Structure 1
Amino acid sequence: MGKGRLEAFSDGVLAIIITIMVLELKVPHDASWEALQHLGPVFLSYVLSFVYVGIYWNNHHHMLHAAKSVNGAVLWANMFLLFWLSLIPFVTAWMGENHFAQVPVICYGVVLVMNSIAYLILMKLLIKLHGENSVLARAVGSDTKGKISTGIYAAAIVVSFIHSWIAFGMYFIVALIWLIPDSRIERRLADSSGDQQVS
């Protein structure tokens, strides 16, 4: 079956997630710099989560661009990913409002781990559908970057029990790793189209 509706629905959900997050930034009733300082933790957690949602949107777009079709399993895997992405506004607000307290930071990490696992499941099902020699399979390879990221999330959850700010810093490091655009799929698509033109 075609992938158009899945892409459109996913884009809509991600747009709503970002909208919900920004609504958590309450406008101060006081027109002073001190009032803005109180918003610091909320804004910092919002920036991190905005980057994460942007990363997922970017990679999701590239992954589906490399796919030619979807099936029922892919549709449900995509819903599973969207479910965990939809929890990002909740844990973001909770973490920011409580100034990066231990339990909210742990829960934020759990949501990040589950997003990572859900994305991996979606990717594996798309590769299974298109074959091990598909553009997507060749572009992803062993997905070392994804596995390292999941490992850092898990380690950060453990570190949260010792110091939540260090764990938050680890979440930030993973975001910075993925902020550099992952061009594997773009390169493979370009190579594939070049091969077709030659033949």
Structure 2
Amino acid sequence: MEKDTARIETFSDGIFAVVITLLSIELGIDVSAIETHHPLLTTSNSELLVYLLGSWTKVFAYVNSFAVVLLMWMAHHQIFKLLRTTNNKLIIINGLLLLIIAFVPFPTRTVGEFLLTNAQKVAILFYTGYCLLVTLTSILFMHAVKSSNGILLLKNISEETVKSISQGLYVGTLLNAIVFMISFFAPIAALILNFCMWIFWALTSSVSKIKNTVADK
């Protein structure tokens, strides 16, 4: 049967592309901070180097969030390879997922700017809580797929494949919940674990399994 998901996939890909662009826009040197001390034209090489090195927290947050968005796009793209069509419920939940993904520049900028301040704990809680919300919404998305009793899926997709994807999302959500709880007691450790979480996600996700399943049929 012919797939009927092209429009929603195109729209979703556009949102992911915009989010990636917005993340990169957040990077840069705060010129106004320099101009409060002297004219921009008098900035020395050593002074600019200090500002560049001082931006490492923003770069770290950018890299981590880029990984979050990239992996979510990969999972989203591969899940849609399993679908023949959609329904209103799935479209609405997909819209909710995209809404939350589009929100990522806010926690990214927050943790990048406040990581080395006295507000560090709240910034990291905000960021790790956001990552938990992303995985929770992904579970909701897969629940919408499963609750369709296979109507939305291509004929060659097995129940085991869908179950495997769901189990991966449950594990990811549990780990994100643990990292979020750690943020209350050891914020920096939680942020490091959060970074490692997405490495773990990339290595253990079912994306390759999904791809192989579709390719073999």
Q: Which TM bucket (shorter chain)?
A: 0.7 to 0.9
* Alpha carbons 2:115, 2:123 under 8 Å: kept: no
Could you tell me the TM-score, scaled by structure 2's length? 0.81
1:31-77: CA deviations, max 9, x gaps?
43212111100000000000110000011000001111000000001
Shifted more, 46-55 versus 26-35: the winner is: 26-35
What CA distance in whole angstroms lies between the structure 2 residues aligned with 1:184 and 1:57? 16
Name the one with the larger helix percent: 1
- Any unmatched runs of 5+ in structure 2? 32-42
Q: Match of 2:139?
A: 120
Q: Measure how far apart 1:86 and its partner are.
A: 1.4
Instruction: Give the root-mean-square deviation of aligned CA atoms.
Output: 2.1
Shifted more, 108-117 versus 177-186: the winner is: 177-186
Equivalent AA in structure 2 for residue 188 of structure 1: T
Q: Measure how far apart 1:102 and its partner are.
A: 0.8
Identity %: 24
* Alpha carbons 1:152, 1:174 under 8 Å: kept: yes
What CA distance in whole angstroms lies between the structure 1 residues aligned with 2:211 and 2:186? 39
Q: Match of 1:141?
A: 163
* Alpha carbons 1:24, 1:93 under 8 Å: kept: yes
- For the structure 1 residues 136 and 7, does the alpha-carbon distance in structure 2 shift closer, same or farther, using more than 3 Å as the test? farther
Q: Match of 1:58?
A: 74
What CA distance in whole angstroms lies between the structure 1 residues aligned with 2:30 and 2:17? 25
Q: Match of 1:189?
A: 214
What CA distance in whole angstroms lies between the structure 1 residues aligned with 2:84 and 2:5? 7
- For the structure 1 residues 108 and 137, does the alpha-carbon distance in structure 2 shift closer, same or farther, using more than 3 Å as the test? farther
Q: Match of 2:57?
A: 41
Equivalent AA in structure 1 for residue 9 of structure 2: E
Q: Match of 2:11?
A: 9
Equivalent AA in structure 1 for residue 17 of structure 2: A
What CA distance in whole angstroms lies between the structure 2 residues aligned with 1:130 and 1:61? 21
Q: Measure how far apart 1:138 and its partner are.
A: 2.6
What CA distance in whole angstroms lies between the structure 1 residues aligned with 2:7 and 2:162? 24
- For the structure 1 residues 115 and 136, does the alpha-carbon distance in structure 2 shift closer, same or farther, using more than 3 Å as the test? farther
Q: Aligned runs of 1:26-105 on 2, under 5 Å?
A: 26-27=28-29, 29=31, 31=45, 32-99=48-115, 101-105=120-124
Q: Match of 1:197?
A: none
Shifted more, 54-63 versus 171-180: the winner is: 171-180
Q: Counterpart of 1:69 in 2: which secondary structure?
A: coil
What CA distance in whole angstroms lies between the structure 2 residues aligned with 1:147 and 1:13? 25
Equivalent AA in structure 2 for residue 87 of structure 1: F
* Alpha carbons 1:106, 1:160 under 8 Å: kept: yes
* Alpha carbons 2:132, 2:180 under 8 Å: kept: no
* Alpha carbons 1:67, 1:130 under 8 Å: kept: no
- Number of aligned residue pairs: 192
Q: Match of 2:198?
A: 175
Could you tell me the TM-score, scaled by structure 1's length? 0.88
- Any unmatched runs of 5+ in structure 1? 194-199
Q: Measure how far apart 1:12 and its partner are.
A: 0.7
User: Highest Rg: 1 or 2?
Assistant: 2
What CA distance in whole angstroms lies between the structure 1 residues aligned with 2:126 and 2:169? 20
What CA distance in whole angstroms lies between the structure 1 residues aligned with 2:172 and 2:188? 18
